[in-house]
Amino acid sequence: MHHFISGLLLQIALPAPDRPRDDRGDVPGWVMVTLMTAIVVAALTPFVSDELMRLLRQAFSMVQG
């Protein structure tokens, strides 16, 4: 019984070797990284917006002379 269940799980988990793997349903890695970065930035913005504005003003004033 144990070997039957193990074999069945392997058949379900592994793709059949005679057919190519279909990735159309998968989310590409770069989409996930971009989405997660946007979420982190959106979550942190209320806490660091004043400091970021100060840094941007300082950088612009240094460029202007």
DSSP string, 6-47: HHHHHHHHSPPTTS----TTSPPHHHHHHHHHHHHHHHHHHH
pLDDT in tens, 11-57: 665 556 666 666 666 778 888 999 999 999 899 988 888 998 899 89
The amino acid sitting at 60 is F
Question: How big is the chain, counted in residues?
Answer: 65
What does the pLDDT read at residue 26? 73
For 40-62, b/e burial (b = at least 16 CB within 10 A) is eeeeeeeeeeeeeeeeeeeeeee
Q: What does pTM read for this prediction?
A: 0.43
